[in-house]
Amino acid sequence: MESLLIVDDEVIIADGLYHMLQEVFQDRLEVRRCYSCDEACAVMNRNRVDILLTDIEMPGASGLELHRMVRERWPMTRVIYLTGYSDFDYARRALKQRAFAYVLKSEGDQVLISTVERAVENLQEESARLMRQAAVASEYARQLRQLVFHAMHGGQLQEESLLAAIKDSGFPFDAHRPVRMGYGMFGAAMRPELLHQSMNLIEELMRPHLPMLLTDMNARCFSIVFQPSEEDSALLEGHLENAQRMIEQQGQQLTLCLMDCETEWKALGKGAAQMLELINQVSPASGELVTLHATQAQPTSSMPLVSVSDGQASLIRMKEYLLTGQEDLFAEETPRFFQLLADTSDKRSTDELYEALAQFMRDCSGAFLTGDIASPALERLVIKPGTPLSELQRKLNHLAQEVFNVRSKKQMHRQRHIVRQIDQYIAEHLSGDLSLTAIADALHFHPTYISRVYRECSSVSFSDSIAQSRLKKACSLLSETDQSIASIAEQTGFNTANYFARWFRKWMGCTAQEYRERSRDHA
């Protein structure tokens, strides 16, 4: 969902635009409003702004200065000037700063609505262009990706090779500074060309802000290595939300997990192992953007990340799929592992794989499921010496299904809890700011995530839920109190009684006063 920020020092105009655009675009745009440039700057420092709709002449900083500030933070922002001045000099200065459009307030609502529509379409066209551009840039980073993939699986990373690969890649990484790590998961497995296309888009979106390298791990997942400055870190989440939105426009959901600590290049393997353990503990929901806190790590496996054989590599992939909830890929890898185990003729190698599998299953049944399934069920999963391969595979599949079921239940419970939190917040703050960003800030989630969760778990849309809560409160106050219409409008989030009156009539089919009289006639 794109975000639109309205900035106008005339409160009645800002409020009118806010309610009008909310009503027109509903769940297509997240609309916010500010009454000064200082207030708008504070919003831009915390949140992504896709479309800026601003007046030019305001006390303090002007709309032209605000334009410059927003382009520094969010270069893709489309700026629309809405002003009462038809002065040619204003238009010239606006165009010089590459404004998307210049609209006079006297031109009416329909002209403005059409302009916002064009801005949304233009943003989507820009996404497509970036996809094409990213595919070309990605080829230069092939060697660096291979080195990172090797290092994450326990390989040694030579400084000379790293320096050469960074130079060839075109990414401004510093080989002598630590990096942060992350993990991305798409909603479903993709063909290699589509996976790489989506990864390239994310890299290209981040390129103006910080170096970020994505390396595919399988048909759904990729590792992330990035090197932010302190200033970059403050805006990182907003840029990644923008990437999630663009990926969603391509028909995919994207889950992102970021470590909160730095890792040396030579320790990428250890960092990757810790990251997978944390992902399992957090169990992120589809489409979420979460931060993984290294201090909360509780190692659940003694199995090294480095693979010593094809069988070990297969087992590592199975573990990754299980930890990250990739049920389809786990189902594909399991028979491959057991075929490798059956084909292993060396007794020592066979014993090592048996022990690694036993350790893996002990970890899963102990740390992952303790308290979630009954003890007798856990006992049936224990591996005994001499257990036939077919029985081992059956036990592993049973264990994996328990893990996936528990993860699914936990995610569903968590999402329902979030919906209840949102509903409670709406009910308690009807007179305040109920924009998606404001609610997300208050509940410490990301706007894109709570919008998706609400859509998936609730029978009504986010905007309709707010409208219904306001309507319920308004009807209650009209029928049970003698408060003025203006007072009721203010308590239900409307700054003007006139707009409340039009809104109420649209929803109820009668005026607020008519509703009050009817409700008392039937009392």
Closest Cα to residue 1, out of 482, 455, 519? Answer: 455
Task: Map out the domains of the chain as residue ranges.
Answer: 2-107, 300-458, 473-521
pLDDT score for 181 = 93
Which tokens sit at 46?
A: 């915390």
pLDDT score for 91 = 61
Q: Coil, helix or strand for 522? A: coil
Q: In what order do the strands lie in the sheet containing 51-54?
A: 29-34, 2-7, 51-54, 78-83, 101-104
Task: Check: CB of residue 15 under 8 Å from CB of residue 497.
Answer: no
2-107: CATH class: alpha beta
pLDDT score for 375 = 43
Triad 124, 7, 70: Cα angle to 5°: 55
Percent of the chain scoring above 70 in pLDDT: 85
Specify the CATH number of the domain 473-521.
1.10.10.60
pLDDT score for 305 = 37
Instruction: Give the Cα separation of 187 and 173 in Å (integer).
Output: 29
Which segments of 139-220 does DSSP mark as H helices, in order?
A: 142-152, 159-169, 192-206
Q: How far is CA 469 from CA 37, 462, 517, in A?
A: 31, 11, 21
Question: Which stretches in the chain have pLDDT values below 50?
Answer: 299-308, 367, 370, 373-378
Q: In what order do the strands lie in the sheet containing 221-226?
A: 212-216, 221-226, 179-186, 254-263, 289-292
Show the beta-strand stretches assigned E in 227-347.
Answer: 254-263, 289-292
pLDDT score for 373 = 47
Beta strand 221-226 pairing with 179-186:
antiparallel
